[in-house]
Amino acid sequence: MQTQVGIIGAGPAGLLLSHLLSLRGIESIVLENRSRDYVENRVRAGVLEQGTVNLLSEVGLGERLKREGMQHFGIEIRFNNHAHRIDFAELTNGKGITIYGQQEVVKDLISARLAASGKLVFDVVDVSIHDLDSTQPSLEFLLDGVQQKLSCDFIAGCDGFHGVSRRSIPEDKLVCFDRDYPFAWLGILVEAPPSSTELVYANSPTGFALHSMRSPGVTRNYLQCPPDDSLDNWSDDRIWQELHARLETIPDWTLKEGNILEKGITPMRSFVCETMRYNRLLLAGDAAHIVPPTGAKGMNLAVADVAILDKAIAAWYQRGTEQLLETYSLECLRRIWLGENFSWYMTFLLHKFPDADPFQQRLQAAEFDFLSQSSAASKALAERYVGLT
C-alpha cells in the first residue's frame, strides 16, 4: 500500500488533517486502532473556540455545528460564595465559544471523509513506524490478522499521548516538559437539562466543581477528587451531594439532577513535547501536548496544530519548499505554551491544592478578588478563553 500522507489516529486532529489535505488534492490514509463506533461515541471535550468554529465552517463542516451547537458569550466563576461573570461578548468584541461535543466533531469529519471516498481504516492492531531516516517512511500494522505495510511521503502522528508516534522518535532527540497535578476530575454525563445558560466554574472549601452541558437535554458535571481515587468510592448519592455543596453557593441557584449516563476519572497533567517534527514524522494534538481540561484548550490546540501542518505539507507538494515544515514546531509552540499557561492559571485559581498553606490560599483569594474587581483582568481571561484567531 502507498499514500502521500499516512495518518495515525482518527480523532479530531487526524480526521481534520485528512479532510484539509483532500481539499488540496493530497491523498492520505487514516489508521485507527479502535472501531468507528467507539471513536464516534467516546465523550471528550465540548468547548470550541471561535477560531475552531470559523475553521470548521470554512472547510464545509459547519452545517450541523451551527444548527446544534450551543453558543455562549460568557462563563461564571464562583469563589467564597460570590459569583463573577466573564462577559465574552463585551470584553472580546462579540466573540464567544460553542458547546459541541468532540464526538460530534468526529462524526461530522468521518461522514465528510467517507462522502469524499476518503480512506479510513479502523480496528488496526500493532501499528509501528519504520524508515524514519529515509524519504519514504512506512507504517506496518495488522488488519484482520494480516500484516500490512503502508509507504508514505509523510507520517502524521495524531494518536494521542499514549500513541506510538512520539515514542518512535529517538529519545535523545526529544525535548519534553511535564507536570502532574495532585488531583483528578470525576466527570459524569447526566440526562438532564442545563441548570445554567453558561458554564459554571466553582472553587469551594471541599474542592473544584464544574457545571457544563452537551445539549439542551444532557449536562456534564465534574468534581475534583484525589488522583488515585476509584469510582467505587463514588455512589450516585455521594456525587450529587458533593455537586450540590460545591456549586450551590449563591442564592436562588439549584443544580438539576438526572440519570447518570456515564462516570469516569481523568488525571490532570500538563505535557509538551517540543520535538513536533522528526524528519518526515510530524506530531499533532495530544501526541505532542496535554493540558488540564480547566482551560478547555485540548481539542482547540489540536485543531490549530493541524491548520499549520496542512499548510506546511501543502507547500512541500505545491512549491517544493520545506520552510514551513522546518518552522512547524516553532509555529505551533507559540500557541501551545499560551494554552498551557492559561490552563495552569485556571487550574491554580479554581482547585484546592492538598499541600496549600494559608499563604497560598490567600494568594488564590486575592487573585479572584482582582479578577472580580478589574475589567482588565476579566478581559485578559476572556481573550484567552475564546482563543486566538
Say which CATH number the domain at 256 has. 3.30.9.10
317 is catalytic: no
In a domain, 200, yes or no: yes
pLDDT, position 214: 86
Same domain (yes/no): 253, 204? yes
Helix 12-23 × helix 298-319 angle, to 10°? 30
In a domain, 307, yes or no: yes
Q: Which three cell numbers stand for residue 278?
A: 522528526
Model confidence, pTM: 0.94
The dihedral built from the CA positions of residue 163, 165, 167 and 172, taken in this order, carries a sign that is: negative
List, as own/partner pairs, every contact residues 288-291 make where C-beta atoms lie below 8 angstroms and the sequence separation is at least 24, other chains included.
288/157, 288/166, 288/332, 288/336, 289/336, 289/339, 289/340, 290/161, 291/339, 291/340, 291/343
Say which CATH number the domain at 18 has. 3.50.50.60
Mean pLDDT computed over 70-87: 95
201 is catalytic: yes
| pLDDT per position as a tens digit, 26-48 | 999 999 999 999 999 887 778 99
Q: Is 218 a residue whose pLDDT tops 70? A: yes
Same domain (yes/no): 282, 373? no
Write down the residue that cell numbers 485528512 correspond to: 18
Same domain (yes/no): 253, 362? yes
| Residue 213 belongs to domain spanning | 181-268+352-386
* Residue of 12, 137, 194, 293 with catalytic role: 293
278 is catalytic: no
What does the DSSP 8-state code read for residue 109? H
pLDDT, position 215: 86
Same domain (yes/no): 338, 378? no
Q: Which of these, 291, 345, 371, lies nearest to 78 by C-alpha position?
A: 371
Q: Tell me how far apart the alpha carbons of residues 123 and 36 are, in angstroms, rounded to a whole number.
A: 8
In a domain, 25, yes or no: yes
Contacts of 228 (CB under 8 A, 6+ apart): none
Q: Tell me how far apart the alpha carbons of residues 188 and 87 are, in angstroms, rounded to a whole number.
A: 27
Please state the length of the chain: 389
| pLDDT per position as a tens digit, 340-367 | 999 999 999 999 999 889 999 999 999 9
Q: Is 105 a residue whose pLDDT tops 90? A: yes
pLDDT, position 44: 74
| pLDDT per position as a tens digit, 122-160 | 999 999 999 999 999 999 999 999 999 999 999 999 999
Specify the number of domains making up the chain: 2
> What percentage of the chain reaches a pLDDT higher than 70?
100
pLDDT, position 252: 93
**Average confidence score pLDDT of the chain:** 95
Q: How far is CA 155 from the centre of its chain?
A: 21
Same domain (yes/no): 159, 198? no
Same domain (yes/no): 170, 185? no
β-strand partners of 209: 202, 223
pLDDT, position 389: 65
Q: Tell me how far apart the alpha carbons of residues 349 and 370 are, in angstroms, rounded to a whole number.
A: 12
**Beta carbons of 162 and 34 less than 8 angstroms apart:** no
**Beta carbons of 350 and 209 less than 8 angstroms apart:** no
263 is catalytic: no
Q: Which of these, 156, 53, 131, lies nearest to 389 by C-alpha position?
A: 53
In a domain, 191, yes or no: yes
* Residue of 19, 211, 289, 297 with catalytic role: 297
Q: Is 102 a residue whose pLDDT tops 70? A: yes
Same domain (yes/no): 250, 186? yes
Mean pLDDT computed over 268-278: 97
* Residue of 181, 201, 278, 328 with catalytic role: 201
| pLDDT per position as a tens digit, 154-201 | 999 999 999 999 999 999 999 999 999 999 999 999 999 999 999 999
In a domain, 168, yes or no: yes
* Residue of 19, 72, 95, 289 with catalytic role: 72
| pLDDT per position as a tens digit, 286-313 | 999 999 999 999 999 999 999 999 999 9
Same domain (yes/no): 248, 120? no
In a domain, 61, yes or no: no
Q: Is 55 a residue whose pLDDT tops 80? A: yes
107 is catalytic: no
Same domain (yes/no): 115, 263? no
Same domain (yes/no): 262, 217? yes
In a domain, 114, yes or no: yes
Write down the residue that cell numbers 461522514 correspond to: 111
Q: Is 276 a residue whose pLDDT tops 70? A: yes
| pLDDT per position as a tens digit, 221-237 | 999 999 999 999 999 99
The CA distances from residue 102 to 46, 71, 177, 239, in Å, are 6, 15, 26, 24
Largest interatomic CA distance in the chain: 65
Same domain (yes/no): 142, 243? no
Same domain (yes/no): 22, 105? yes
**Beta carbons of 147 and 128 less than 8 angstroms apart:** no
In a domain, 163, yes or no: yes
